[in-house]
Structure 1
Amino acid sequence: MKSVPLLSFALLSAAFALGPFSPALAASPLASADLGSVKPQIDCTALMRTSLDGVATTAVTIVSASVTDTMVGQFCKVTGTIAPTINFEVHLPLSKWTQRYLQSGCGGLCGSTSVSFDQASSCAPALNGEFVVAATDMGTATKRGEPIGSFATDPQKRIDFAYRSNHETALVAKALIRTFYGQGPRYSYFTGCSDGGREAMIEAQRFPDDFDGVSAGAPAMNFQVQNSFYHAWVIAANRRPDGTPILLADKLELLHSAVIAHCDKLDGITDGLLSDPRACKVETKWIACAKGTRDSKKCLTPAESQVVRRIYDGPRDAMGKSYLVGGPLPGSELQWDFIPASANARAMSAMLGEAMRRYVIFPQSPAHDALVNNFKFDDKTFAAVSELHSLNDAMDPDLSSFSQHGGKLILWHGWSDTSISPMTSIAYYKAVQQQMGAEQTDLFLRLFMLPGTGHCGGGDGFAQIDTLTPLMAWAEKGHAPRQLVAGKIPDRDKAPRGGLPGGDMSGKRVPLSAAAQKESATRPVYPFPIIPRPIRAGDTTGTSGFAAGHSTAKEPNVVDWHGSSLFAPGFQRNYSVRDGALFILQNR
């Protein structure tokens, strides 16, 4: 039997006790605690007069408190501000609160409050409006016409964005809950993807007592390097000296088809997806233009082939050591949104990356030069990028305080994510195992990798999942998730990207998450590194047709890259502002 590095004995025995492919990892019970509903003890408008002195580290102002109607009942909607500029919303159900609190993370650089939740499309309490829910704009709202990321010219807003806003919002929301219902929540949850995933990890690492369950999707935990070296490289790797792109988007279907043709069968399932892309070694010669080819529409020119290799390989030093923990993986080519459609088009990732480098990544904001043409992929730049590692990053593998609190963490990532490399989540998971031990890690953390899924959803794979229901069963009843059930949306353009639409509760829409879309197929997703294998040839449309198997990928336990030491315990620091600049405090 092939060994799987760093997989705990408990999971290993469950997966392979009956042989190389085993149905032993059947779905765990998804029942959460049976909690009765609690009614408010005061009127909604009375919350306007609630004293919140001392709840947060700065003054809290309640701006409004009023009853709003939704499709699932009435809520008391409270808006307010935590000084200086952190805006928040808290929505408290009037008739069916089941003693749970749910807070949502915010994607990108935030700047607005959105009480909607990703990956909860089949979670009945979420769809029924049984949670008190809250969100914050993280204090990064900008005025119309102000550049993206320009909030970071204010050092206090940098701190609020990095780690303070969600923690303070949780404290305020729980205080409002105690006042409104006469008791606090029995269970508290946080869910987010992308930067929302980073925020989820920040909560587990910096504030381990805030939440009982955390769902972190595609977390931007390696914030500094990801938003500098990674996003600069995928643009720079595709540029001629005059700045025009070499590879255009019309070649991506060709490239993707070649990758699938050569690697699809490696997981035992011929379905156009790669269950573990690390097992696929791409060769551009598969579709390279023959010498003397005049029409290159159906092949890659030598220059285009070089671009593809550079994108997969990432930036490296003279000795071949990578500056990235990982880049886009094989099978993700249709998600390469950093490749422009035309020579005159500009990829969105290029604009966002430039804003990050200009305002957010470096200590000086705005930085002198943020243009990708002048970005140096060298040790000096890597050191400069790492200066704010202790402020923004969420890579601390010591989750002992979170575990001792009883916290449970579901970490998930799409294999076809090209905004944040899936290898980031894998590297973090392995770092936690090394720090805390594999068996101890299994008691509170699971990592799930979704085949064919892009950034926070979308793609041509199985992108529709519900992480909140199994998280509740784990936190409340001790039922660790042995698998997730992922659904495939027939039209991939309609698959959830960046979270399902839930949105503003001020209207009549579903307040937390849209109901699951119709699925053409479902598939079990097992805890990493276990992958699904078909039990019978051709029976691959439902979860019952699969069993737990192992991947053929041969990867080292720890990727040796320039930032390997960044996955270390105790690096995070608390900051304050002195003389208009960031100042590191002695203790966290």
Structure 2
Amino acid sequence: MATALPAAAAADTPCEDLAGTTIDAADIGLPTSGAQVTSARESTQGATAPYCLVEGRIAPVDPEAPDIRFRVNLPTAWNGKAVHFGGGGYNGTVVAGTGSVPSAPVGTATPLQQGYATFGSDSGHSSTVHPGGSFALIEESLVNFAYAALKKTRDVAVSLIEAHYERAPEQTYFVGSSQGGREGLTVAQRFPTDYDGVFSRVPVVNFTGQQLFVNALAEPILTGGWIDPAGVDLLHATTLATCDGLDGLEDGIISRPQNCHVDFQALLCEAGEATGCLTQAQIDVVEQFHAPMVLDYPLANGVPGYPGFPVGGEGNDWRQWVMGANGNPGFTVSLGADFIRYFVAQDPDFDTVGFDPNAPEWRERILAVSEMVDATDPDLSAFAASGGKLILQENLGDNGRSALAGLDYHASVVETLGKGRTDKFFRAYAVPKADHGGGAGPNDVDWLEILDRWAADGEAPRDVVLQERGTDRTRPACEWPTWSRYFRGDVDDAASFRCMKAPGFKG
């Protein structure tokens, strides 16, 4: 573990005295009307040692926009470093900052327990006041969600850390999963000197392409393509039977789904069949789910559309994310509908089923949103020049968003900066089988410790081992585009596998 700085001396400003503190708008890097601490008190909730729990608000420029509500946790035994926690979904809830880093093994001390100052926000809206994506009807709220709240929250938090400890953090990291993963890539791209390291797990990196893609699944699902649980089980069994052994071991883990070519048409029901098969409408949905969506025009940073999803995740949470229940689409499809309704059409009553993103009347707005929200800028040269380090974890069995989008992003950075230059600061890992939440197979490792050693001590990641929750099974975390193949020995031991060279995904 990286060497921690000595604990801070007595705080310059006692905890309770931080209440009522104001931060001038001029001290915040993007436009606001200033910030104020609404409460500050000693606490031990969510930690094993006392800390100062600071809560407050950052006022908007537009009086119609909501405040950004934030929280900063200042441990008594501070290690001299800070962690900014990202959000999830459409945000709207203040991030507590007392929990674990995504993918941390069970029992790992949280950053706050380790002595990190931690902070987060609601990104500039409340999910109870503005449910779904309705906050996007207010332009400042949309910009805050896209990127601005991240900078504003960071600047306010660092000011309070400096006030309390009489010095700034030696290292500041960002950690996040899903929406928080997108936010991590966003800060590396937009605010490259603010963070020493970023851990981004399963990011919704191509946010616009993702929402357009999943929304397009609604119409075929609602018009005969919905698949019941038995049909989903059939898909899972077929995929495993076709591809499970391609990595040298039949263990329920498909290590290299880009080599997995399933003939879904072979599942077509014959005349008179009603079980153990799929209709053509259902197969069409499956094939659409796995196929790339190419728009008639590029999104921000030249992204052509969305890459589709790899096979192999049908046995995870496909019902939750894609198929839903009782003939209705799942959660990720409903998020796509909210995006069309509020971000693009800006009409709460807009009918999103059958929405055509290629229609000329929508292109300008879609591109404007893409420029704001998508974290696809491949030029990370400023982040690299500032000494920043970036770790990306993609879960290949994720049905909440496609791992291929993040791996495509990594490929774009390599193409822009070159592999040698990219490898010095950016490492990507593709984890077989793991789902959106990180379950279903070996997935867990303390990425914050690895990131801290890299950023603070210059020790680049190597021989990373993933642990499966609740079992002793481990697998190597292979750096993309290598993949894990079984050779010999204990099938539950990472040492029995090798990371093999392979070409990257092409979608």
TM-score by length of 1: 0.77
Question: Equivalents in 2 of 1:343, 1:128: separation in Å?
Answer: 44
- 1:119 Cα deviation (Å)? 2.5
- 1:554 Cα deviation (Å)? 7.5
**Matching residue of 1:331:** 312
Q: Does residue 417 in structure 1 map to residue 398 in structure 2?
A: yes
Q: How does 1:483-562 map to 2 (within 5 A)?
A: 483-489=463-469, 518-536=470-488, 539-551=490-502, 555-556=505-506
**Matching residue of 1:6:** none
- 1:273 Cα deviation (Å)? 1.2
- 1:130 Cα deviation (Å)? 0.7
- 1:409 Cα deviation (Å)? 0.2
Question: Equivalents in 1 of 2:235, 2:123: separation in Å?
Answer: 40
Q: Does residue 305 in structure 1 map to residue 305 in structure 2?
A: no
Question: Equivalents in 1 of 2:466, 2:486: separation in Å?
Answer: 15
Question: Equivalents in 2 of 1:315, 1:202: separation in Å?
Answer: 23
- 1:555 Cα deviation (Å)? 5.0
Contact kept in structure 2, 1:123 and 1:469, CA below 8 Å: no
Deviations along 1:61-81, one digit per CA (max 9) or x if unpaired, are 110111112341111111111
**Matching residue of 2:300:** none
**Matching residue of 1:282:** 262
**Matching residue of 2:242:** 262
| TM superposition outliers: structure 1 runs of 4+ over 6 Å | none
Question: Equivalents in 1 of 2:128, 2:43: separation in Å?
Answer: 27
- 1:382 Cα deviation (Å)? 5.5
Question: Equivalents in 2 of 1:202, 1:554: separation in Å?
Answer: 23
Q: Which amino acid aligns with 2:5?
A: L
- 1:314 Cα deviation (Å)? 4.5
Contact kept in structure 1, 2:408 and 2:505, CA below 8 Å: no
Q: Does residue 465 in structure 1 map to residue 445 in structure 2?
A: yes
**Matching residue of 2:188:** 204
Decide whether aligned partners of structure 1 residues 383 and 421 sit closer, same or farther in structure 2, where only a CA change above 3 A counts: farther
Deviations along 1:172-206, one digit per CA (max 9) or x if unpaired, are 11111111111111111100011111111110000
- 1:305 Cα deviation (Å)? 2.5
Contact kept in structure 2, 1:192 and 1:199, CA below 8 Å: yes
**Matching residue of 2:43:** 68
**Matching residue of 2:221:** 238
- 1:379 Cα deviation (Å)? 5.8
**Matching residue of 2:58:** 82
Q: Does residue 165 in structure 1 map to residue 149 in structure 2?
A: yes
Partner residue of 2:160 out of 159, 176, 199: 176
Q: Secondary structure at the match of 2:27?
A: coil
Q: Which amino acid aligns with 1:476?
A: A
- 1:49 Cα deviation (Å)? 5.0
**Matching residue of 1:357:** 340
Contact kept in structure 2, 1:249 and 1:339, CA below 8 Å: no
Contact kept in structure 2, 1:237 and 1:311, CA below 8 Å: no
- 1:266 Cα deviation (Å)? 1.4
Give the % identical residues: 30
Q: Which amino acid aligns with 2:123?
A: M
Q: Secondary structure at the match of 2:55?
A: strand
**Matching residue of 1:296:** 274
Q: Secondary structure at the match of 1:420?
A: coil
- 1:103 Cα deviation (Å)? 0.8
Q: Which amino acid aligns with 1:446?
A: R
Q: Which runs of 5+ in 2 are unaligned?
A: 61-66, 297-302
Q: Which runs of 5+ in 1 are unaligned?
A: 1-30, 490-517, 560-588
TM-score by length of 2: 0.89
**Matching residue of 1:496:** none
Partner residue of 2:18 out of 47, 51, 63: 47
Contact kept in structure 1, 2:222 and 2:329, CA below 8 Å: no
Q: Which has the higher contact order (CA 8 A, sep 6+)?
A: 1
Question: Equivalents in 2 of 1:341, 1:402: separation in Å?
Answer: 40
- 1:102 Cα deviation (Å)? 0.5
Q: Does residue 37 in structure 1 map to residue 13 in structure 2?
A: no
Contact kept in structure 2, 1:109 and 1:140, CA below 8 Å: no
**Matching residue of 1:99:** 80
Decide whether aligned partners of structure 1 residues 316 and 471 sit closer, same or farther in structure 2, where only a CA change above 3 A counts: closer
Aligned residues: 483
Question: Equivalents in 1 of 2:364, 2:229: separation in Å?
Answer: 33
Deviations along 1:92-142, one digit per CA (max 9) or x if unpaired, are 011x11101011000111111122342334654626341101010011214
Decide whether aligned partners of structure 1 residues 225 and 316 sit closer, same or farther in structure 2, where only a CA change above 3 A counts: closer
Question: Equivalents in 2 of 1:454, 1:74: separation in Å?
Answer: 35
Higher deviation after alignment, 263-272 or 75-84: 263-272
Q: Secondary structure at the match of 1:239?
A: helix
Question: Equivalents in 1 of 2:115, 2:351: separation in Å?
Answer: 46
- 1:300 Cα deviation (Å)? 2.1
Question: Equivalents in 1 of 2:282, 2:81: separation in Å?
Answer: 53
Question: Equivalents in 2 of 1:309, 1:51: separation in Å?
Answer: 55
Question: Equivalents in 1 of 2:452, 2:138: separation in Å?
Answer: 38
**Matching residue of 2:386:** 405
Question: Equivalents in 1 of 2:313, 2:217: separation in Å?
Answer: 14
Q: Which amino acid aligns with 1:48?
A: A
- 1:51 Cα deviation (Å)? 4.5
- 1:154 Cα deviation (Å)? 1.1
